[in-house]
Chains A and B, each alone.
Chain A
Amino acid sequence: MDSILSLASIFFTMILVDNYVLVKFLGICPFLGVSKKLDSAVGMSLAVTFVMVMATAATWPIQTFLLTPVDAVTGELKWDLGYLQTIVFILIIAVLVQLLENILKKFIPALYKALGVYLPLITTNCTILGVTILNIDNGYSFIESIVCAAGAGIGFLVAMVLFSGVRRRVEMAMPPKCFEGLPITLVSAAMVAMSFMGFGGIVQSIFGV
């Protein structure tokens, strides 16, 4: 029971308090680029969530058993290849994205049609590499890592959907000439981020963790 509580706490912290886009500034490029329309915002976020969970499921065992394996008896590192982390992780993510694209194309063409255009963009989305590295840095277990990745993905979805709504209003506003386009979008993102600051502490008070 206790572990379910702590997992739920990780999940909701990732969505509301540590929202990757609005609080930790990861994945700003797709946040600004694809949030113009609700459909594409949802499609992109779902693809990101999917790849995030898959990438975490692939990188966690590789880090734990291949790069920095711990000897069960002595508790010491058997060997330390930790310095290869960056290269190995980015290659795994690139291969995974390619693989997913092919598998979806062959077996689930409907999903491929919905996510297809966003998949190649995901390799260079920093949320994916960010969540895999942060999971290792935080010392999460396998289950915790998966939950954290799913939470991060859903948090991305929430931010994208909320912001695409804000953006529709902003498009119609008439800011000063030099603020047109991205600058005014960024200023409105500041307002959305400010509203997310209100969630600070909410998860601790609900779950008491």
Chain B
Amino acid sequence: MSKNLSILTNGILKENPVLRLVLGTCPTLAVTTMASNGIGMGLAATFVLLCSNVVISALRNIIPNQVRIPAYITVIAGFVSVVQMLVKAFVPALDASLGVFLPLIVVNCIILGRAEMFASKHGIFASALDGIGMGIGFTLTLTVMGTIREILGAGTWMSGLEGLLPFLPDGFKIQVIPTSIDPFSIMTSAPGGFFVFGVLMAAATWLTTPKAKKEVKEGGEA
């Protein structure tokens, strides 16, 4: 049980796909201008990751080794098309704001990476857990990054969330920084994306390394 739990929680910080494994950087930088976009992209990718991990793990003994990459890509592309159709039908606002990055989930290296590194070697249940864990890690990172960029760059938080949760009123947003202060708009454009990503990655490194040092120290004392 604890092994399953660790598979699930691995993706959140220790093996965070974006900050530690540095996979799927393109959507991370491109869609995180708003926190709500980050949530939407994260959920879409989590769905694809979960489904493709399960299917690939179920087929892992049938797919010949030489053609495994094209086979994986076909499975992933199938699920991405499903997500594209669902999003277009039920959350058109999200489709408009994610644009080309929705079909580009196909070439998101997180998904192919997990298929190759995890799902092709483990059982269905473990692969499903891995998909969910990695998906949660991806969604959390995108949301945190979107939050930082949106609050600094536009002064608001979660604007556009009514596209995902239809019961919210139109034009829903939380004003964090009063409108009398000019927002730091470079944060929502390209340089801000690179900058926030770099700082977050440094923070993740900082959070994970001191612990390792402490363990070594404790071990040394004992």
Interface residues of A (CB under 8 A from B): 22-29, 32, 83-87, 90-91, 94, 123-126, 129-130, 133-134, 137, 176-179, 182-187, 189-191, 193-194, 196-197
Contacts and interface: CB of A to CB of B under 8 A. Distances in A.
Contacts of A124: 107, 109, 112
A85 B191 contact: no
Contacts of B78: 87
Given A124-B112, A125-B107, A137 B100 contact: yes
A177 B78 CA distance: 43
B84 A191 contact: no
Given A86-B77, A86-B81, A27 B201 contact: no
B203 A91 contact: no
B35 to A, nearest CB: 17
A22 B190 contact: yes
B109 A23 contact: no
B105 to A, nearest CB: 9
B23 to A, nearest CB: 8
A193 B190 CA distance: 6
Interface residues of B, number: 41
B167 interface: no
A91 B77 contact: yes
Given A32-B25, A130-B100, A194 B81 contact: no
Contacts of A194: 186, 190-191
A190 B107 contact: no
A182 to B, nearest CB: 6
Contact of B192 (A84, A133, A178, A190): A190
B189 A197 contact: yes
Nearest to B189: A197
A126 B198 contact: no
Nearest to A137: B100
Given A29-B109, A178-B206, 20 more contacts: A24-B30, A29-B25, A29-B26, A83-B81, A84-B81, A86-B77, A86-B103, A90-B106, A91-B73, A126-B26, A126-B104, A129-B103, A178-B203, A182-B198, A183-B198, A183-B202, A189-B198, A190-B194, A190-B195, A197-B191
Top 3 A-B pairs, shortest CB-CB distance = A186-B198, A190-B194, A25-B30
A190 B198 contact: yes
B174 to A, nearest CB: 26
B194 A186 contact: yes
Given A27-B26, A90-B73, A178-B206, A126 B107 contact: yes
Contacts of A129: 103-104, 106-107
* Highest count of chain B CB atoms <10 Å: which of A32, A85, A90: A90
Contacts of B194: 186-187, 189-190, 193
Contacts of B29: 25, 28
26 contacts: A26-B104, A28-B29, A29-B23, A29-B26, A86-B84, A87-B74, A90-B77, A94-B70, A123-B69, A123-B73, A126-B26, A126-B104, A126-B108, A129-B103, A129-B104, A130-B100, A133-B100, A134-B100, A185-B198, A186-B194, A186-B195, A187-B195, A190-B194, A190-B198, A193-B194, A197-B191
A177 B207 CA distance: 12
A23 B190 contact: yes
A83 B108 CA distance: 19
A25 B104 contact: no
A182 B77 contact: no
A36 B100 CA distance: 28
Given A129-B106, A183-B201, A193-B190, A91 B206 contact: no
A123 B85 CA distance: 24
A90 B81 CA distance: 12
